[in-house]
Amino acid sequence: MIDILQIFLSESFWAASLRIASPLIFGVLGALLCERSGVLNLGIEGIFVVGAMTGWMAVWLGAGLWGGVLAAALAGALFGLLHAILTVPFGLSQHVSGLGITLFATSVASFTYRTALPDVTSPPRIEPFRAMDIPILSDLPFLGPVLFQQTPMTVLALVLVLVVWWVMDRSALGVAIKAVGDNPDAVNAQGLSVVGLRMGAVVAGSALMALGGAFLTMSAFDAFFFGMVNGRGWICIALVIFASWQPGKALLGALLFGMFDALQVRLQTEAGSFIPGQVFLMIPYILSIVALVIAARRADYPRALLTPWRKGQR
C-alpha cells in the first residue's frame, strides 16, 4: 500500500518539488512580464532550448557557471528583441511570431550544436552548480534540506520572484508596464513610450525564460541534449493564467506543478510494478489542467493582451 502521508512528510519530497519547479519559476516570471505589457510570447519553448544550449556551451568553452548564466540571458534577450520588433512596432500576429521564434530558436540551437560538435555522439559534460551547504541554516529541521541545500540557481529564482513582485507592485515602472497592458492609449497620453515599455518588457521577460533553460543544463543536469525542455515552456504559459498574472501566485503555481511531478516519480517507484508508468506521467499534467480550469474562470487578464497598438489609431 502506498503511504501518501509519508511522502508528503518527507523532506526529500519537498526539496525535489522546489528543484523541479525552479526552471518553471524563471519561465513563468518571464511570460508574466511579457503578457503584463500586452504581448503574448509563444516563443518561450524555443527560448528555453536556446538558453539551455547557450548556457551549457558557454561553460564548456570556459566562461564559468555565472558566465554561462549571463550568456543564456543574453541569448534569450536577443530572441525576445526579435519577437518584440515583429509584434510591437510592426504589429504582426503575436501567435504567429511566437511560434516562429520557437521554431527559429530551436533550429539555431540545433545548428550551433551540430556545427560546434559535428562528430560527438554524446554531449560533453560540464561541472554544474552544486547544492549549497549554508552553515546553521542547512542544519535546520525540514527547512534546511528543503530551502538551504538547493543550488544557487534555485535561490536566484526565488530572489527574482521578490524582485519582479517589487517592480510590478511597488515601482513606477511596474505601474507603467501594467498600464500599457491594459490601456496603452492612456499611457501614451501621459507622454510615456508604449513601444519602449512593451519592447523592454518582452526583452527582459525573454531573458528570464532563457534562465529556465540554463537551469536544466547547469543545475539539474550537466549536459545539453535535445528534448530536455520537454514542454516546460508551454506549462509556463498555462501557469501565468493560473497565477492571474501575479508573481506570488506564479511561484505557487510552479511549486504546485513541481509537487505533482515529484509525487508521480514517487508513486511510480512505489506502485510501478502493477500500474503502467504512463499513468503516473500523466498525473502532473492532468492535475495542472484541473487547477488551470478552476483558476481561469476568475482570471483578470490584461485587457490589451494580443492587441497591437499604433499611435493615433483607435
Number of domains in the chain: 1
Look at residue 301 and tell me if it is in a domain: no
Q: Give the H or E element holding residue 175.
A: helix 172-182
Could you read off the pLDDT of 71-98 as tens digits, one per residue? 999 999 999 999 999 999 999 999 999 9
CATH number of the domain that residue 22 is part of: 1.10.3470
252 within 8 A of 32, measured Cβ to Cβ: no
Look at residue 77 and tell me if it is in a domain: yes
C-alpha torsion 273→278→283→285, nearest 10:
160
pLDDT at 251: 94
Look at residue 64 and tell me if it is in a domain: yes
pLDDT at 270: 67
124 within 8 A of 223, measured Cβ to Cβ: yes
Look at residue 124 and tell me if it is in a domain: no
3-state secondary structure 230-248: CCHHHHHHHHHHHCCCCHH
Could you read off the pLDDT of 239-278 as tens digits, one per residue? 998 888 999 999 998 998 898 888 887 777 766 556 666 6
Q: Which three cell numbers stand for residue 36?
A: 503584463
Look at residue 305 and tell me if it is in a domain: no
The parent domain of residue 264 ranges over: 9-118+130-296
> What is the rounded CA–CA span in Å between residue 204 and residue 240?
16
Look at residue 74 and tell me if it is in a domain: yes
- Report the share of the chain in percent with pLDDT over 90: 63
C-alpha torsion 157→162→163→166, nearest 10:
160
Look at residue 31 and tell me if it is in a domain: yes
Look at residue 104 and tell me if it is in a domain: yes
> What is the rounded CA–CA span in Å between residue 45 and residue 88?
20
Could you read off the pLDDT of 175-225 as tens digits, one per residue? 999 999 999 999 999 999 999 999 999 999 999 999 999 999 999 999 998
Q: What is the pTM of this model?
A: 0.93
Query: Measured on CA atoms in the order 146, 24, 115, 63, is the torsion positive or negative?
Result: negative
